[in-house]
C-alpha cells in the first residue's frame, strides 16, 4: 500500500466486495474501469484506472479529463463531459459490456 495516497484502497466500499487482498482490489478496479470505458464509449468518453491515482479518470476524445472517486460522481461527471444525459442501462449500448 502506498503511504502517500493509501492506494489500493482498503476494503469497505460495496464495489470491492469479494476482493480480499490488495492485489484483488487492484484487479477489481482495473476490471471495473474497463467495463465503464465500454459503457461510456458510445457517449464519446473513456474511463481509465491506472492504479496509481485513487479514483477513475474520465476523459473526452478532445482531451478533457477529470478524476472521480466513486460511481455516483462518475455518472454526474460523465453527463457533464458528454453534454447530455448518460444512461448506463440504455439497451442500445449494452452489447458486450
Say whether pLDDT at 66 is over 80.
yes
User: What does DSSP assign to residue 28?
Assistant: H
Question: 91, 42 in Cβ contact below 8 A?
Answer: no
* pLDDT tens track for 15-48: 667 777 888 888 888 888 999 999 999 999 999 9
Whole-number percent of the chain with pLDDT over 90? 42
CA angle 74, 76, 82 (to 5 degrees): 95
Per-residue model confidence (pLDDT) at position 52:
74
Q: What is the side-by-side order of every strand in the sheet holding 45-48?
A: 45-48, 56-60, 65-68
What is the chain's alpha carbon radius of gyration, rounded to the nearest angstrom? 14
Question: Cell numbers at residue 50, please?
Answer: 491506472
Amino acid at each position: 500500500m502506498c503511504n502517500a495516497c493509501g492506494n489500493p484502497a482498503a476494503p469497505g466500499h460495496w464495489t470491492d466486495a469479494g476482493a480480499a487482498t490488495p492485489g484483488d482490489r487492484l484487479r477489481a478496479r482495473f476490471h471495473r474501469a474497463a467495463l465503464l470505458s465500454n459503457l461510456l464509449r458510445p457517449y464519446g468518453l473513456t474511463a481509465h484506472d491506472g492504479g496509481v491515482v485513487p479514483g477513475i479518470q474520465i476523459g473526452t476524445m478532445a482531451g478533457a479529463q477529470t478524476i472521480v472517486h466513486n460511481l455516483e460522481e462518475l455518472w454526474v461527471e460523465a453527463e457533464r463531459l458528454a453534454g447530455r444525459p448518460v444512461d448506463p442501462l440504455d439497451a442500445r449500448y449494452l452489447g458486450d459490456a
